[in-house]
A and B are shown apart, each in its own frame.
Chain A
Amino acid sequence: MTAAQAPARARPPLWRDVRVLRVVGQAAALVVVGMLLAWLWSNLQNNVDSLGIPAPTDFSYLNQPVGQSIAGSDLRPTQSRLDALQVGLVRTIQIAIVGIILTTILGVLLGIARLSQNWLVATFARIYVELFRNTPPLVVIIFIYLGMFINGGFLPRVGDAVEIPNLLAADIRGISVLWVSFTDSPWPYLLVLVGAIAVGWGVVRWRNHVQDAQGKPTYPMLSGLVVFLAMAIVGWLALGGPTELSAPSVAENGRVTGGNKLTPEYAALLIGLVLYTASHVAEITRASIQAVARGQDEAAKALGLSAGQRLRKVILPQALRVAIPPLSNQYLNLTKNSSLAVAIAYVEMTRVTSDLVANGAPAFQAFLLLAFLYLLISLATALITNFINGRLAIPGR
């Protein structure tokens, strides 16, 4: 080695040193943002002081009574504001779950219809998608609520209720639908159902295994379904029929009795959200199937798989993987859009908050809490999506 002399590294002056510049740049960014926040915070405190409202860190308002009730809930005006917020949170989650299920069914059907070889079916689906995708969801919701339900004569006046016997009865107070409810505690039978699903799933796995080993068709899905249904029915009988059906009907005086009553507000919000989001889900479904179908379908054909096998074994499993990230995005959108309820006075999380603020709760704290709750929901959705994505990921992709 010739370079025996220990190499010394030159030290540049500070203002030309990359590392120093990086640190300084970041510190400057922090200082600017910090100063902005500090300025806003001090304004907040000044304003709060001069207006004589609770300090921005004071959340005691949550313990005070709501002073009003919430339509369709058994919350008493004497209960705390925190309880009211909890009712709102549950409702937001509830409408999100119901909405997501309905949206998925409608959207996937429409997406497949878009690809139908029947021109009329495909055209119908395309018109649907173009119609709803390009209309603001608020317009859809308000149109259904004000334009159809409240002022449009779509729902008859009280005393003139209309019905589809045993399925649905409606007047301007709400839409009652056929509903299953439990006579007693629901848990025993729910446990039976969970068990039935687990066993049914096990049967599917087992029949699949046999099919692979012996090469003979063993109808795994069908057998699983039969086992599940058998267990569900036997369990229901064994528990002595723990459920009862409540069918809506129109009484003599023209009023609705029985069934599960959805208020017009809830129905309009749910229908609007589902109609709007389904148009996006349809597009995602179509695009995912098309993205996979090209090439893969040919390859599967070349292997001699039937059309049904190609769809089930090759196209759909891959399309699902393509679809999951954008789908989860749409589900999250639907959840966030449930806040549109404020426009039609359906009381969920956002509406509870704005009502609280209207009744004297401190605006800053109330909305901070609301934003935080939505962030939690978003975070949970992201975690679930990542988990599913990880489970489904194809190794090496």
Chain B
Amino acid sequence: MTAGGVTTHAGAWIRQNLFRNARDSILTVVFGALLAFLTYRALSFVLGEDWEIQRQNMRNSLVGPEISGTDLWAPVIGIWLIAAAVGVMIGALDRSQHADQPGAILDPLRPAHWRQIAYRTVARLWPVFALVVFILLLTGSTTGLLVTLAAMALAFLGRAAGVRLPLGSVRWAALATALAPIVAVLIIRFGFGIDWNDWGGFLLVAFAGAAGIALSFPLGIFLALGRRSKLPVMKGLSVAYIEFFRGVPLVVLLLIGSLVIGLFLPRSLIPSEPIRAVIIFTLFTAAYFAEVVRGGLQSLPEGQEEAAKALGLPAWRITSFIVLPQALRNVIPAIVGQSISLWKDTSLMFIIGLAEPLRLASAFTRQPEFRGQGLITLTLFFAGLIYWIVSFTMSRESQRLERKLGVGQR
């Protein structure tokens, strides 16, 4: 295409999308000015401010003020573990999806594939990479750089292993990926002996979010099945549970967890504050998961269950082999959506005084050297940015998944 062709092309596009008529042109000018102004403000904020306060407190933001020295290796090992497991899983998925055309599988050990792997990874995870680069540039930490590179290398090698696993091991890879965060938590808590009360920053909210999802999911399924049950007692109990937890704000539930749960337990059984928060997140999210799963159950034609009954399968096998696999598959995007919600909700630990990112952000501005300089805008911005990047990335992935499941075979 000639340069002239490109110009007319661009010209046509601009006319079509920006200046169709007078009203359109006015809108373009107004919104163009607005966008330009906001972009300018955002850039001058990020580039123009002195980020010293966040630079000095980076470790506090990420893992909380109580974890230091060799203990810092605990979260690092956790990240490595998760990176490797996710790598394996992506590799195994890639292999199973291209089972009939092995040429299309991207193998990290073949340099010819590197460009494409890098391209796809960046296309999907650019917000995360942008954040990591921002952090590394800000802190200028060599250790941080090495840790990041090691995590990437592990994901890369994991993927290489994943594409070499026998077909049909996706299930195991998925299980491993689900177990990795659990193992990571166990390593941090018991391997390094870091008390729950010492977890802070994004480590704390990531833990609370992941644990909340993992624990609430089975409970949610159970409640959804209960709600659909023909037995009035099961149904009644499930409905009461679900409607209670959906009707009361999470803030109130967290306050109850913080101030009231203790009254319901013998003194020796009262868990620490972060664990009580996790329990509340679990109970709360389970009610929402239950509604999501119920939607999936309702989407199944009745004939599925009848066919299974007619074959003589016992009830629990029908549920676990026929009903749930299909129902859950139909609601994967909604499940991801609910997980994003919970991730955002972990910020509410602020309210019960835990060392989560927002509370830390305001605590930093009370340090002697930063006091009274109005720096909270910076620290809050950084905390909000991490929240945003994680949920933005997840929601993009869920939209991708939705499109994919929508067109593929059901």
Contacts and interface: CB of A to CB of B under 8 A. Distances in A.
Direct contact of A and B (CB under 8 A): yes
Given A118-B17, A151-B377, A350 B244 contact: no
Contact of A378 (B20, B246, B362, B384): B246
A74 to B, nearest CB: 26
A147 B234 contact: no
Interface string B252-288: 1001100110111111000000000000000000000
**Shortest 3 CB-CB contacts between residues of A and residues of B:** A378-B247, A26-B233, A336-B249
Contacts of B383: 139
A166 interface: no
A277 to B, nearest CB: 13
Interface string A116-150: 11111101100100110111111110110011100
A363 B259 contact: yes
Nearest to A135: B388
Interface stretch (B149-157, B213-221, B347-355): B347-355
A182 B391 CA distance: 47
Contact of A117 (B17, B247, B250, B381): B17
A337 B358 contact: no
A350 B251 contact: yes
B390 to A, nearest CB: 8
A221 interface: no
B182 to A, nearest CB: 25
Interface residues of A, number: 60
B340 to A, nearest CB: 8
21 contacts: A26-B231, A29-B237, A30-B237, A33-B237, A43-B263, A44-B264, A118-B18, A134-B387, A136-B347, A136-B387, A138-B350, A139-B387, A142-B358, A151-B377, A152-B374, A340-B348, A342-B255, A350-B255, A357-B259, A367-B252, A378-B246
A20 interface: no
B31 A118 contact: yes
Nearest to A358: B259
B233 to A, nearest CB: 4
A223 interface: no
Given A367-B260, A374-B252, A22 B231 contact: yes
Contact of A364 (B243, B246, B263, B377): B263
Nearest to A152: B377
A152 B49 CA distance: 13
B392 interface: yes
A120 B365 contact: no
Given A44-B264, A151-B376, A343-B350, A337 B249 contact: yes
B79 interface: no
B137 interface: no
Contacts of B17: 117-119
Contacts of A379: 247
A218 interface: no
A2 B390 CA distance: 75
Interface in B293-350: 340, 344-345, 347-348, 350
Contacts of B231: 22, 25-26
A251 interface: no
Contacts of B27: 116, 118, 120-121
Given A124-B35, A136-B347, A374 B249 contact: yes
Interface string B351-377: 100000010001001000000001111
Nearest to A379: B247
Given A120-B27, A121-B28, 15 more contacts: A47-B267, A118-B18, A118-B28, A120-B31, A134-B344, A137-B344, A139-B358, A139-B380, A142-B358, A147-B377, A337-B249, A343-B350, A353-B255, A363-B260, A367-B260
Contacts of A388: none
B248 A375 contact: yes
A232 B383 CA distance: 50
A48 B263 contact: yes
A16 B373 CA distance: 76
Interface in A151-200: 151-153
A334 to B, nearest CB: 11
Contacts of B340: 134
Contacts of A119: 17-18
A135 B243 CA distance: 26
B32 interface: yes
Interface in B23-79: 24, 27-28, 31-32, 34-35
A40 interface: yes
Interface in A318-364: 336-337, 339-340, 342-343, 350, 353-354, 357, 363-364
A370 interface: yes
A339 B362 contact: no
B268 to A, nearest CB: 11
Nearest to A376: B247
Nearest to A50: B267
B392 A374 contact: no
Nearest to B230: A22
A375 B381 CA distance: 34
